[in-house]
Chains A and B, each alone.
Chain A
Amino acid sequence: MADATILSLVLYLPLAGMLAIAAIPAGRDGAVRAFTLAVMVVQFLLSLVLYANFDPAVPGLQAATRLPWIPQWGVAYLIGLDGYNILLVILTTFLGPLVTAGAFSAITKQVKLFYAMVFLIQFAMLGTFVAQDLFLFYIFWEAMLIPMFLMIGIWGGERRIYATLKFFLYTAFGSILMLAAVIYLVWSLQQSTGVASFAFADLYKARLPLETQQWLLAAFALSFAIKVPMVPFHTWLPDAHVEAPTAGSVILAGVLLKMGTYGFMKLGFPLFPDATRMAAPLIAWLSVASIVYGACLALVQTDIKKIIAYSSISHLGYVMLGLASLDLLGIQGAIVQMVSHGLVAAGLFLMVGMIYERCHTRELAAYGGLAKVLPVYSVFFLILTLASVGLPTTSGFTGEFLVLMGAFNAAWKPAAVAIPLGAAVLAVTGVVLGALYMLWFAQRFLFGAERVPHGPVADLNLREKSILAILVAAVFWLGLFPDSAMKRTELAAREYQELVAGARAPAATKLTGAVPAEAAR
């Protein structure tokens, strides 16, 4: 089978799965769960073929499908893999079966609709990653909101309606301004070249005046920054996370937030390079504000889900800092950090869900000394905590270390952009703060006097153990052998760097970044 066919199969399997679920008679919840899991596993295996066949030495699109769609407007159906999205596609398909299996015991009402929504969101997320045409991208980008809106609103907690409306309206506001920018961008490209096209590759060639770029970047950045979320656009996230069902939180933290950083990397920055270079110090400061502020907020939370929600804000700040540094190490680190955060945050949210199912509270103060009662749970929790802190050999280390290297490179040897040295230094304190809040959290949660609400409770069952074991294996794989993944993203990172830095990027920047895989080890 050609790669393009496999990619289409991977993309449309969830959609087919959703339609097939409707045909399963009501009341057969077990069948729905088994069917969803089977489809998700098949999807993941197919995507592994794509990963294996992905040629790191070939620049540009692979496994691409191109069909005319609205030729009058220059809109095409164009999907494909490249170094930007390959890891995120794998991350999405990897988390799919885990999310499905993780929700087996938690979701007992409206099971059919729930898994239909899981399928739908999987479809929309994959579509957003593989779309190579701005119109198609926007459609998938917005379509993603609908299943998430329902997921939080139907299976969420007490304040679910408030949280889900806030989530939808926040993100939709960003999107509507982005839509205006998309229309303007394509129109001005048409004015200057006479050709209307929404293909990313064509849009990169646009050379807009600086002032226009600033406006358009602001519109794109607002939309993406809300999604990431970056301080000060982050207030929807804690609400959404706290009220969402576990599966919703896992999808949100695991993949959905990466849409924002992916959007910056694939669209926001490369489309408007001059404005980006100008705004780079501001972006760096905002990223650092996210890192530090997110960490400080995580430190003072009493709800365990909120701790992890705020830690997400902090961790994604690193991604943004890496992207803004325009240093090859920093960019590669940002990509690895995206995947790493996807794995670690997904794991932590799953674990919070598992304890919540047993003890029915998320108050940190209600817990204590779980290590004695739930030894297996505690081991997994500690591993994920350490990965979140960035312990060497875990994926968290690779990502954060590379990002900080990149930031300092850009601060000391300013090339295309100059990251303020103060920002880079402050970002390092984020690592310390990260260790502080996560370890303190683990200490209060797992050790000390034994407190188990609604106890006694059973330790993890086989299903839960398998889910976590698979996740932890992935965390270590990315931590110990990042070069397999980074090899595949390297050309994209270079392309991103060249696009944003423009032709004026001095050779030195490229030389320092020539050996990213080695440096990571």
Chain B
Amino acid sequence: MNFTAVSIAMAPEHLLLAGIVTLLILEIAADDSPAALPLSVLFVAAAACAAAWLGFTGWTGAPFPGQFVLAPPAAFAKAIVLALAVPVLLMSKDDFGRGAFYPLLLSSLYGVCLLASAESFLTLFLGIELMSIPVYVLVLMGFRRPESAEAALKYLVLSGTASAAFLMGASLMYGSTGSLSLASFGAALSSPDLLARTAVVMVMSAFFLKAAIVPFHGWAPDAYEAASVPSTAYMAVLVKAGVLVAAARVFGTAHVAEPLVGLLAILPLASMVWGNLAAMRQAGLRRMVAYSSIAHAGYLFFAFLGDGPGRFQAVVFYLAAYGVMNILAFAALPWHAQDQERDRLENLKGLFHTHPFAALLIGMAMLSLAGIPPFPGFVAKFLIFKNVMAAGYATWAVLGLVGSYLGIYFYLRVIQFMFMSPREAASGHAPSRGIAMGASLLCLAGSILVAVLPASFLARL
């Protein structure tokens, strides 16, 4: 273990840790200090820059061999995830502004970063737990009604089940291969051994549960609805990103053999179909986003059907395009003092008349999430289905595309509410707060970058 290597390779994590410690001290020293938000933005942005710098310099190495490795794609994945966290922090000003929200969120981010570099099941488990545990609290912090507590508990229990399944899988893996390294999982994927295969299924179901894949999706709509808007955005984008990056680390470049292909294709396909169908009937924005994120988790897991080297690239690129637009929509949402009112889709009616710019931003986000070109969501979806097709699963690709078609309607419905309702239908929208608008503009800039220059992202991932 080399000291300089450790300090350089883990610079993003160190900066996050420094942020957590600073915020905790601040919290103890000055209760509810307003400096918490700018400080956390500063630390997360610095960590993102550090990760991007590591990526651009091409830093490669393993400060903790067998546990923690860093290569440019992972560094860029961290940079993207951390950059996505900045607008989430910014838009939290009106909901939290100060207090325990920030150290918790930074701790969770630390877990996400760890996942991108994990090389063994131990580090991976550490990352997953570090990412998840603060989120239970974040869900509860939006405590607006009794159901929040129930939803947080539901999330806690089911997420705990996933962790248990994961540990079970990891120990079976250790039992059959004698190793906890992620490479052994790749070997187990094509192993005919029953023990190894059980381990694979256990680990996969843990990921499916954490990513809310049908039929393990029941917790997501409740948890998303219970949390406050920034926490929902965090869960829908960054926690999902963490889980998928972890899955991409675990699967590595290993080829997925035949009996597993069915499991890996059918459940995500069911997620797409069910997520998109159920989203059509939702009256609340956050429940709709929850079902939409279930469908998106389906597309993301489809990427694992694709061949090895492109897998990580497809997942991270999709997460970037999906995340930036999701956060954009949340940030541009008109403010309402009452949380339930803010959530009702009906209340978006006539938004274009009162706040044209916010309506345009949300509209763009919806089209991008629906995968309509020229928005970045299209390029990301194209990449995933291109990989699936190239791996020889043409039928699955066609079914997946048709599944994604089902999602168009409910995104269009949001646009219909905002643009096609008469001026009279517009309820008294308060303008979205300046800082949240800044967050959505940040996302807009990011999404334009992704849409116009996808090549430079792809070249680095």
Q: Which residue numbers of A lie inside 8 Å of B, CB to CB?
A: 68-73, 113, 138-139, 142-143, 145-146, 149-150, 153-154, 160-161, 164-165, 168-169, 172-173, 176-177, 179-180, 183-184, 187
Contact = CB atoms under 8 A, between A and B. Distances in A.
B194 interface: no
B416 A146 contact: no
Given A73-B386, A168-B408, A180-B385, A139 B401 contact: no
Nearest to A179: B401
Nearest to B455: A70
Sort A-B residue pairs by CB-CB distance and give the 9 closest, nearest first. Answer: A139-B373, A153-B420, A176-B405, A70-B455, A142-B373, A180-B398, A183-B389, A139-B374, A180-B401
A183 B397 contact: yes
Contacts of A173: 405
Contact of A187 (B352, B379, B389, B402): B389
Contacts of B187: none
Given A70-B455, A70-B458, A168-B412, A161 B373 contact: no
B454 A70 contact: yes
A139 B404 CA distance: 17
Nearest to B367: A146
Interface string B299-338: 0000000000000000000000000000000000000000
Contacts of B157: none
20 contacts: A70-B455, A73-B386, A113-B352, A149-B412, A153-B416, A154-B419, A161-B420, A164-B420, A165-B409, A168-B412, A169-B408, A172-B372, A173-B405, A176-B401, A176-B405, A177-B402, A179-B385, A180-B385, A180-B394, A187-B386
Contacts of B404: 176
Given A71-B455, A72-B458, A139-B374, A179 B382 contact: yes
A8 to B, nearest CB: 16
Given A72-B455, A160-B420, A187-B386, A169 B409 contact: yes
A396 to B, nearest CB: 35
A74 to B, nearest CB: 11
B1 interface: no
Nearest to A172: B408
A184 B394 CA distance: 8
A173 B455 CA distance: 28
Given A153-B419, A168-B412, A180-B398, A142 B458 contact: no
A153 B419 CA distance: 8
B208 interface: no
A138 B401 contact: no
Nearest to A124: B374
Interface of B: 352, 356, 367, 372-374, 378-379, 382, 385-386, 389-390, 394, 397-398, 401-402, 404-405, 408-409, 412, 415-416, 419-420, 454-455, 458-459
Contact of B420 (A71, A142, A146, A154): A154
Contacts of A146: 367, 372
Contacts of A177: 398, 401-402
Contacts of A165: 409, 412, 416
A71 B412 CA distance: 32
A51 to B, nearest CB: 28
A143 B386 contact: no
Report which residue of A142, A164, A179, A187 has the largest number of chain B beta carbons within 10 angstroms of its beta carbon. A179
B392 to A, nearest CB: 9
A176 B403 CA distance: 10
Contacts of A143: 372-374
Given A70-B458, A72-B455, A146-B367, A183 B405 contact: no
A176 B402 contact: yes
Contacts of B419: 150, 153-154
A164 B419 CA distance: 13
A154 B425 CA distance: 14
Contacts of B374: 139, 142-143
A138 B398 CA distance: 17
Contacts of B408: 168-169, 172
A169 B401 CA distance: 14
Given A153-B416, A161-B420, A183-B385, A69 B455 contact: yes
A11 B416 CA distance: 28
A172 B382 contact: no
Contacts of B458: 70, 72
Given A176-B401, A179-B401, A142 B454 contact: no
Given A146-B372, A173-B405, A187-B390, 18 more contacts: A70-B458, A71-B455, A72-B459, A138-B373, A139-B373, A139-B374, A142-B374, A142-B378, A150-B420, A165-B412, A168-B412, A172-B372, A172-B405, A177-B398, A179-B385, A183-B382, A184-B394, A187-B389
Contacts of B378: 139, 142
A169 B416 CA distance: 13
Contact of A142 (B372, B389, B401, B455): B372
Contacts of A154: 419-420
A3 to B, nearest CB: 25
B256 to A, nearest CB: 18
